[in-house]
Amino acid sequence: MPGKQLIILAHGGAGSDNAHSDGTDRACQLGLELMQARTPVLEAVCRAVAILEDDSRFNAGTGSRKRTDGSVRMDAACMDSRRRFGAVSEIQHIKNPIHVACGVADSEYQLLTGEDAHQYAVELGFKKVDLTRIESHAPGTDTVGAVVFDGDQFAAALSTGGTGGSRPGRVGDVPLIGCGLYVGEHGAVCATGHGESITLNLTAYRTYEMLGQGIAPQEALETAYGWFEDSQDIGLLIISRQGNAGGSNRNMAWSILTGD
């Protein structure tokens, strides 16, 4: 009997340089290897996104862009088709916010914010890191993300330094369920781009609903693009039981990898 088809898509954010797809390739490679080792999909997708957080060419983790006050404040979220969801917002001084979001998914909570999210990360054993001393090489790029399917379960994860130059306290789509990401029995969706527009459009949930109606991922992607003005960046990764699609109305480094 043939094995299950495994698949992962990863992106470096709307506006990222297509030439940086070596970074998204590495994220896909790790995610695929983890699924091949039967790692749960939520852990596999979060560890893939951590690779992107560690790549300063992308606006997340160590590459996060600074806010108006010079601080680095990050949001991250993850979800799987068993309805586990975890998120952090406005977290500071943590190298891999996606791992903290994954920790929240295992807790009684779904979203922790600000200094209390940092305190939770410390309790989980994460070290304090001064990210303001690390130079971001991600001008004008957005959230990183990935979606996976192991032939049984789906998962998605997102991480961002937010919109560079925005005021402290501003939170975009990433930690808001159904806005930046949504996952269920029909598939997984993650978005990148202008957070306020992604949120107003309930982008991930409405895209996911199309998958539930049997609409193919590529058609769902093109329909979702139509919800955005030309001036608003949007990128999406989508997996359903019918296939997958990825793209952006801007440049976007992204990769796809399959295996069994």
Q: Which residues are the active-site residues?
A: 143
Q: Restricting to residues 71-130, which ones interact with ligand GLY according to CB under 6 A?
A: none
> With 0-12 CB in 10 A as exposed, 13-18 as middle and 19+ as buried, what is 206?
middle
62 binds ligand GLY (CB under 6 A): no
Hey, which residues does 148 pair with through a beta bridge? Answer: 8, 155
Query: Contact region for ligand GLY (CB under 6 A) — 15-23, 62-70, 106-114, 166-174?
Result: 166-174
What does the alpha-carbon distance between residue 59 and residue 197 come to, in Å, rounded to a whole number? 18
162 binds ligand GLY (CB under 6 A): yes
Query: Contact region for ligand GLY (CB under 6 A) — 98-106, 148-156, 160-168, 236-244?
Result: 160-168
Helix, strand, coil percent content, the chain, rounded in steps of 5: 30, 25, 40
Q: CB 197 → ligand GLY: shortest distance, Å? A: 9
Q: Which is closer to ligand GLY, CB of 59 or CB of 153?
A: 59
Q: Which is closer to ligand GLY, CB of 80 or CB of 142?
A: 142
163 binds ligand GLY (CB under 6 A): yes
The candidate with the shortest Cα–Cα distance to 77, out of 45, 52, 41, is: 45
Q: Restricting to residues 177-216, which ones interact with ligand GLY according to CB under 6 A?
A: 192-193, 195, 198
Q: Indicate the Cα dihedral angle 121, 147, 259, 103, nearest 10°.
A: 20
Which residue in the set 47, 142, 201, 220 belongs to the binding site for ligand GLY (CB under 6 A)?
142
Q: CB 53 → ligand GLY: shortest distance, Å? A: 14
Q: Which is closer to ligand GLY, CB of 175 or CB of 187?
A: 175
Record the tokens describing residue 158, joined without a space: 């997102």
Which of the 8 DSSP states describes residue 62?
G
Residues engaged in binding ligand GLY (CB under 6 A): 142-143, 160, 162-163, 172-174, 192-193, 195, 198
